Amino acid sequence: MVRPALRGFVGLAMARIRDKELFREEYDSFEAYCLQKWEHKRSYVSRIISAAQVFRYLLTNSQQRQPECETLENWRTCTARSRRSLRGRRPRRGKKSRPRMDAN
């Protein structure tokens, strides 16, 4: 399984390998490359590629800045900060509705 923060980088790299047929020296097909080299079916690799392409499209066509945890350099810092902020906190529970006591 590929870490979520790395999927974009891996997906774009796999797309480049597929599109430029860089697997041809050692493998007959992209499907064989995926199975033998990475032990993933082509369908899984295609989903990673598609997700990376969508992410890149949204990133380049969006007015919002890139989420802090999505860059490889910031991934460790961001996840460590998230873990620290959650320490000692109890999970939030929804308010229970109490039966209403109407005064007569």
| Cα separation, 75 vs 80, whole angstroms | 8
pLDDT for residue 36 is more than 80 = yes
Residue 102 inside a domain? The answer is no
| Cα separation, 51 vs 76, whole angstroms | 22
Residue 33 inside a domain? The answer is yes
Residue 17's domain spans which residues? 1-62
Residue % of the chain over a pLDDT of 70: 51
pLDDT for residue 11 is more than 70 = yes
Q: How many structural domains does the chain have?
A: 1
Residue 96 inside a domain? The answer is no
Residue 78 inside a domain? The answer is no
